[in-house]
A and B are shown apart, each in its own frame.
Chain A
Amino acid sequence: VRERLRPERLLLALAAPALAVAIAAVVSTLVLLASGHGPLHVYRSMWDFGTQTNSIISMVDRAVPYYLAGLAVAVGFKMNLFNIGVEGQYYLAVVVAAILAPELHLWAPLDVTIICAAAMATGAVWAGIAGVLKATRGVNEVISTIMLNNVVLLGFGAWLVDQYRAQDAGLQVATRPIPAAGRLPDLNRWLEHLGVTVPPGAHLTSFVLVAAAVGVAYYVILFRTRLGFDLRASGLNPWAAASSGVDPKGMAVKVMLLSGAIAGLAGLSFLLGDVGRYTTDFPTGLGFTGIAVALLGRNHPVGVGLAALLWGFMERSAQTLDLQGIPKEIVTIMQGTIVLSVVVAYEIVRRVQLARQQQEVSLQVDDERVAEALA
């Protein structure tokens, strides 16, 4: 029976993403048609623009913060904890790092390491509050992290920056610029070595290496350590995990700390890259994108990576749409549709799988009964 099922299983596994893409494509096509643009033309121009070398570098560059934010959300999801507070955690971490970084004048690699560690610690503390509240007082982490987000985004962050604001920035509220030694170089030279001609204006942040390292660490911790096993067990069946000796409260705190620490890194590729200081127009919304990316990537380090790249690709290729008089916000609609259709597709496939399994089992049982009756 198992032999017969294998290709079918594979087919079903592939069916979900395919179905999702199909649903998203249909919806996007309808939206484009409704607003009077030829869908095929739009898709082709997005593809053509998005696959230029320049765009591919930009896609990877954009994907780095999404990947980190996605992993931060994913590690919580693995234990059925929803850290919606990645937004506040990375933002606070960026502010703290931006205040700290101009003060450091040690050895450059050490400076960067300290900054990263400080950002991770900040994110972990901010997320840890929610973890501790959940463990000690039973406060739902969704609500507490939303509140912690608002505390940072609606005032605490701005107040902190104001205490250390740069005098040279004029009317703009900004921290002091980070000296070149504390910044990260881009990887353009390496790309040239690899035989890629980097077009002018394109940068590949070296933070992509950090992101990759975090991805590997995520995999190792989750799938190759006791902690990861306990974490996943608690997510799949908290009662079974608890009765096998996992302390669910301690686990919740640990997971939030881990998630917050990863979240702390999410904004650093901007801060230590071309931006170089905190200003009021520092990118926001990474945390919410992270949720979408984690969902899309099914919380697996490779899947989240692909999802982050897809997001980066869509945002990059959207830039060509404005030039043709098509609102590039169509991409946001596409992204929302993809998230929704992915979960719908997985649910449909799960149901089909379940129904088939039941069928198989009942057939088997019937066979056995017939055999018994004949014997």
Chain B
Amino acid sequence: VTPRLVRTLAWASIGFAVVALIAAATDTAGLTSSGTVGAALRLSLPIGLAGLGGLWSERAGVINIGLEGMLILGTWFGAYGGVELGPWWGVLFGVLGGALGGLLHAIATVRFGVDHIISGVAINLLGAGVARYLNIVVFGDRTGATQSPRVSGHLGSVSVPFLAGGDLFGWHTPDLFGWFERRSWVIVSDLAGVLGGLTRGVSLVVVLGVALFPLTWWVLWRTPFGLRVRSVGEDPAAAESLGVDVYRMKTIAVTISGGLSGLGGAILVLLFAGIYREGQTGGRGFIGLAAMIFGNWNPAGLLLGSGLFGYTDALQLRDEHAIHTLLLLVAVLVGVMGARAVVRGRVGPALLWLGAGTASFLWWDVTDQFPRQLVGTTPHIVTLLVLVFASQRLRMPAADGLVYRRGEAR
């Protein structure tokens, strides 16, 4: 237990208490209900997996703007496997489809030394084109150009026994979190709502997807293979001199990157729509990239970032009133920042923060609804703000985006 961890936990607890109090004061249970949190978990996973793909790739020094294209490949191949063989085959096919995109990106950038961003843009073009073309060729006469047939069957889901009412050897255990959530006790019920949302009726593929985050951390930071991957992203020439096969490491990492994106795409198909539909990725590959940068190229930070996107998505879908309440939350947060600036004696930022806080509060006070169309923009504005205020603290891998040629002088 490090002091930093203690500090983080303390701040998180205070933040949560503030959210709970605001939810109670404004009668917005939706802010912390298990339904919202469960939806947020599901919605953040495709974004998070795309981001995790980006993390693998960029840790190995290859910028991956083609995540969106790999996500699209994952959706189509996921639907194909799901329709033809069953949902879990869909998951596998989605991963393979995405990995194919990743491999192409790896060949172009690592072997041929193509500019990473250019190759990524081409992969996005190709991913969309290939998915559409294959869909017409395979499913065109059944469901038309832009859709696939419905995937039948389910992936299955679990609830934790005793805590969230899961079954144990056929016995339907009590739902402790649910009981607390229904009590409407400030903070306690909110906490139970959040925990319940994370433990009740969780799809097995979500469990798999979430498990990949700690797994990634362990592989990249605790195994010799992970060290090699990261060394290639920090200083490929030095890695080469120590006998690491730079090309091979990069190729593996970028292919894994595509596979993770592909999994995100398959989840998008199998967990939400049940079909492949053109445009269903909705820029989530790009959002995942942003979440990764938000998370400072770390799995934990990425999880937080994609959770933020998933949470606002969930609120937007489930509870528009809650979005309006977010204005009050923003006012409080910004107010705290302003107070901090006052304490530190920084006049300019203090005025800026307090002004923004007041504006946000007035907006909340005067209106009773947040414009419906603008809700979808909130996570993107938040990301932009995070980048504005934290970009100096972000550090990408040192050789990220640089083309490495074996044997070339630095």
Tell whether, in the assembled complex, residue A147 and residue B290 are in contact, meaning their CB atoms are under 8 Å apart. Answer: yes
Check B113 for interface membership: any CB of A closer than 8 A. yes
Q: How far is the CA of A161 from the CA of B286 in the complex (A)?
A: 25
Q: How many residues of B are in contact with the other chain, CB < 8 A?
A: 46
Q: How far is the CA of A31 from the CA of B122 in the complex (A)?
A: 17
Tell whether, in the assembled complex, residue A159 and residue B112 are in contact, meaning their CB atoms are under 8 Å apart. Answer: no
Q: How far is the CA of A35 from the CA of B112 in the complex (A)?
A: 28
In the bound complex, residues from chain B placing their C-beta under 8 Å from that of A295 are 118, 121
In the bound complex, residues from chain A placing their C-beta under 8 Å from that of B389 are 137
Check B384 for interface membership: any CB of A closer than 8 A. yes
Tell whether, in the assembled complex, residue A340 and residue B108 are in contact, meaning their CB atoms are under 8 Å apart. Answer: yes
Tell whether, in the assembled complex, residue B377 and residue A156 are in contact, meaning their CB atoms are under 8 Å apart. Answer: yes
Tell whether, in the assembled complex, residue B114 and residue A340 are in contact, meaning their CB atoms are under 8 Å apart. Answer: yes
Which of A144, A147, A288, A339 has the most B CB atoms < 10 Å from its CB?
A: A147
Given contacts A142-B117, A143-B293, A340-B114, A335 and B125 within 8 Å (CB-CB) = yes
Of B113, B115, B136, the contact of A327 (CB 8 Å cutoff): B136
Tell whether, in the assembled complex, residue A150 and residue B286 are in contact, meaning their CB atoms are under 8 Å apart. Answer: yes
In the bound complex, residues from chain A placing their C-beta under 8 Å from that of B145 are 327, 329
Check A310 for interface membership: any CB of B closer than 8 A. no
Of A31, A155, A329, A340, the contact of B132 (CB 8 Å cutoff): A329
Which parts of A78-113 form the interface with B (CB within 8 Å)?
82, 84
Given contacts A147-B380, A288-B121, A344-B114, A333 and B293 within 8 Å (CB-CB) = no
Tell whether, in the assembled complex, residue B129 and residue A335 are in contact, meaning their CB atoms are under 8 Å apart. Answer: yes
Which parts of B359-393 form the interface with A (CB within 8 Å)?
371, 373-377, 380-381, 383-384, 387-389, 391-392
In the bound complex, residues from chain A placing their C-beta under 8 Å from that of B199 are none
Check A283 for interface membership: any CB of B closer than 8 A. no
A262-300 interface bits toward B, Cβ cutoff 8 Å, 1 = contact, 0 = none: 000000000000000000000000001001100100000
In the bound complex, residues from chain B placing their C-beta under 8 Å from that of A288 are 121, 124-125
Q: How far is the CA of A156 from the CA of B376 in the complex (A)?
A: 9
Q: How far is the CA of A35 from the CA of B383 in the complex (A)?
A: 43
Tell whether, in the assembled complex, residue A31 and residue B133 are in contact, meaning their CB atoms are under 8 Å apart. Answer: yes
Check A114 for interface membership: any CB of B closer than 8 A. no
In the bound complex, residues from chain B placing their C-beta under 8 Å from that of A162 are 373
| Cross-chain pairs A/B with CB under 8 angstroms, 11 sampled | A143-B383, A147-B381, A151-B377, A151-B380, A156-B377, A295-B121, A327-B133, A337-B122, A339-B125, A343-B122, A344-B108
Q: Which 8 A-B pairs rank lowest in CB-CB distance, beginning with the nearest?
A: A332-B129, A336-B126, A336-B125, A159-B373, A327-B136, A340-B122, A155-B377, A154-B376
